Structure 1
């Protein structure tokens, strides 16, 4: 059963929320004024009572973006997943339909799983051939101030994009699970953030081009074998050893006008301007 539902339609030439429903533990905030008077976009903030997702909670939300509409779906803070009680897993499910010439921007704060937390997230997007979609999906290593680093029990994030109903365009799952031979922290080493960004559609073409160019510049030379005593990330005490770069990124294009950007960070500072 859905715990939330939003429908955005074009009314009198503007993107307008025509249906909105939410029940515990989900809450939706839709500010009336965002940006200038010329801004034609609906902003939706999702949050949970208590500031996080409790063990065993299931949140399911459906959103429909009508033809020609623009919607931003975001959060007010990181998605905190509290400690697991027994084998209970916390779950979030999002189902979104993006109409013709419509744009959905999904830019939440990162997921932060507490120690022993178990969390599963599934997001399904159904787009048209001229829809536009931006997805940001990211997770931090945990609560550093409490000494937690990749200390959760289980994390799974699934993103599916279907074109014009049921044609698979993008099917992806990220799974982090404590293993018998190596923990998540051991496998992640010093990296503290995993992020994935998906850009699809004609309205984001200029952003796709800029991201590709920026990633190319940032990553050029990151993994060159250093010359004697010198070179990017070279260890001055061992000319044959490379230190860990603070940022690793990859960028690839697939399908019709789709760009996938993935990255690892040693640290992350996020500034969002609206």
Structure 2
């Protein structure tokens, strides 16, 4: 297993590893050779100390190559976010090639005054080349603990050979995404996104009265883009948004629009 550790801390009132006008450290996750190969196992420990702000992102989609034999590729991220600190995790999507086996686990330990924004998303594969949901298995686990008590536990698992194929289950959707927003600093952003997603959800399934179903431009059962949201935690302190879409670009556009108000915190527009 390959391991690494990153600590973002303040020295004389300014975050270390930060050269921006806004006091925020941007960290890019890179893979040698352009992707994750069969049998790779990567562990990263990440600490954002009290009062610091950090962004963890990528330069391109994380590619997972086909597995050899029964080997599975895995990534583990263990994070601690300090008091009044902010961590923004905004990677590009994971793209699993045909016959790939991939597992990732991300564990976030926060306090009631910590702030976290997490984007976790993946595609059907190289679908523009005709490779759609052809990987063997994909598993993504995201757990958040507040003061070491479980606050949010979530796992997505797609696996071939369980009843119908993954492709049959996913129909025409090529992208699955999740956004998690937590913390007092992000309260206004959370409320705005919640209202936007509710409006978007309603419009996605709306059919004009008097319009024959077969002639309707948008089918109420299969819109091109679907987003929904729900709250979690004490008094709805956290928000989770789930997205299913038919194109990668539509999700990028959604994220750029919804996360634009992060710019004052992190010094740039996410996914711009």
User: Which TM-score band (shorter chain)?
Assistant: 0.7 to 0.9
Once the 2 structures are TM-superposed, how far is the Cα of residue 116 of structure 1 from its aligned partner?
A: 0.4
Cα distance in 1 for partners of 2:174, 2:63 equals: 16
Structure (1/2) with the larger strand percentage:
1
Cα distance in 1 for partners of 2:6, 2:135 equals: 31
Is 1:88 equivalent to 2:71 in the alignment? yes
Number of equivalent positions: 251
Larger Rg: 1
Task: Judge conservation of contact 1:53–1:82 (CA < 8 Å) in 2.
Answer: yes
**2:89 maps to what in 1?**
106
RMSD: 1.9
Is 1:250 equivalent to 2:233 in the alignment? no
**1:9 maps to what in 2?**
9
Q: Secondary structure at the match of 1:220?
A: helix
Distance 1:237-1:169 versus aligned 2 partners, 3 A rule: closer
Task: Judge conservation of contact 2:35–2:65 (CA < 8 Å) in 1.
Answer: yes
Length-normalised TM-score, structure 1: 0.86
Q: Secondary structure at the match of 1:161?
A: strand
Is 1:198 equivalent to 2:180 in the alignment? yes
Once the 2 structures are TM-superposed, how far is the Cα of residue 137 of structure 1 from its aligned partner?
A: 0.3
**1:267 maps to what in 2?**
247
The runs of 5 or more residues in structure 2 that have no matched partner are 257-268
Once the 2 structures are TM-superposed, how far is the Cα of residue 2 of structure 1 from its aligned partner?
A: 5.5
Give per-residue Cα distances to partners, 1:85-120, cap 9 Å, x unaligned. Answer: 011000000000000000000000000000000000
Once the 2 structures are TM-superposed, how far is the Cα of residue 14 of structure 1 from its aligned partner?
A: 1.0
Cα distance in 1 for partners of 2:202, 2:220 equals: 15
The runs of 5 or more residues in structure 1 that have no matched partner are 18-31
Aligned pairs (5 A) from 1:169-208: 169-208=151-190
Aligned pairs (5 A) from 1:113-262: 113-164=96-147, 166-224=148-206, 227-230=209-212, 234-236=213-215, 242=220, 244-256=222-234, 257-262=237-242
Q: Secondary structure at the match of 1:64?
A: strand
Q: Secondary structure at the match of 2:33?
A: coil
Once the 2 structures are TM-superposed, how far is the Cα of residue 48 of structure 1 from its aligned partner?
A: 0.6
Cα distance in 2 for partners of 1:149, 1:185 equals: 7
Cα distance in 2 for partners of 1:225, 1:237 equals: 7
Once the 2 structures are TM-superposed, how far is the Cα of residue 206 of structure 1 from its aligned partner?
A: 1.2
Which structure carries more relative contact order (alpha carbon 8 Å, separation 6+)?
Answer: 2
